[in-house]
Amino acid sequence: LYLNDITIGLESINIIFENKNIKNNISFISNNIYVIYYVKYYNYLNNIIYIYNVCNINKLNYFKYKLNFYSYIFEDISSILYSGYSLNTDFYLINNNLTYYFKYLLSNINIYQSIKSSYIYVYNILLESIVKQYSYQNIYLPAIYFELIIKKMLSCIKIISNNFNLFKYNDIIPLYLINIINYSLNLNKYKIYKYEPIILGVTKSILANSGFLTNISFQNTFKILSLNILTNKIDWLLDIKSKIIMTDLLPVGNGWYRYLTV
């Protein structure tokens, strides 16, 4: 472990872990293959990129995109943009990449497979980004520490269906849970939930994957308590912190809890 002053990179690390957006970038995803043929930087005011279709050489289809102010693209002239991949500038906006890539996959495979593939795609980007931020400060940590955090950030989805009683629109629930529910609904020939991927920050991922007793140690204590009282929500005391608050038995040791009951 090599230590150095990390205060310079703390802002970038916080942006990645809390999933904060900086500025819009370009996400270019298509079924065809394109190539960059001209990039224009005119006094940093007219940042334009020209792209044409490689698949149809006889009739070239040109596309013109306006870049962000003071932004550069990572690709150079003659770079090939394959189908399903994105064209990004130097501004960080991982949510757009996730959304566009998910919509591209959804046209070919089912929603669950699209979500899983999109999360794998974004997982590699997040892992590489956070490891590089530490390495820039001469701090080298095993990637396993960040893998566990990023997996937790990519473990939930957002409901976009509004005609169900169990979950409401914009509810954030774990991906494995909605997959089980949709599978059961599909077997019984009911309409399934529609949902979309979402990247949760470290704080939000903790709040989404724990009961309300754990949530009250974070922001909006009275809001969380009043909301759960009104909705008559039940906390099943699954995490250790909730068990300590309610003075319940702690799941320690290597035995089965059900065999210890009298």
Chain-centre distance of CA 27, in angstroms? 16
Q: Which of 81, 98, 85, 88 is nearest to 24 (CA)?
A: 88
pLDDT at 153: 84
pLDDT category, 116, cuts 50, 70, 90?
very high
* Domain map (residue ranges) of the chain: 24-91, 157-245
pLDDT category, 201, cuts 50, 70, 90?
confident
Tokens (6 digits) for 184: 């059961």
Phi, psi of 63, rounded to the nearest 5 degrees: -130, 140
Chain segment 226-250, per-residue pLDDT in tens: 555 556 666 666 666 566 555 666 6
Is the pLDDT assigned to residue 138 strictly greater than 80?
A: no
Is the pLDDT assigned to residue 186 strictly greater than 70?
A: yes
- HSE toward the beta carbon, residue 68, CA cutoff 13 A: 17
Long-range contacts of 88-93 (CB under 8 A, 24+ apart): 88/25, 88/26, 88/27, 89/25, 89/26, 91/22, 91/23, 91/24, 91/25, 92/15, 92/16, 92/21, 92/22, 92/25, 92/129, 93/21, 93/22, 93/23, 93/24, 93/25
Name residue 12's amino acid: S
- Residues 6, 11, 12: CA angle, nearest 5 degrees: 90
pLDDT over 90 percentage in the chain: 3
- Rounded CA-CA distance 199/96 in Å is 11
Kindly report the average pLDDT of the chain as a whole number: 69
89-113 as b/e, with b when 16 or more CB fall inside 10 Å?
A: bebbbbbebbbbbbebbbeeeebbe
Chain segment 69-106, per-residue pLDDT in tens: 445 555 666 676 666 666 655 455 677 778 888 888 88
pLDDT at 218: 47
- Rounded CA-CA distance 213/224 in Å is 9
pTM > 0.85: yes or no: no
**What CA–CA distances, in Å, run from 156 to 136, 144, 231?**
30, 20, 21
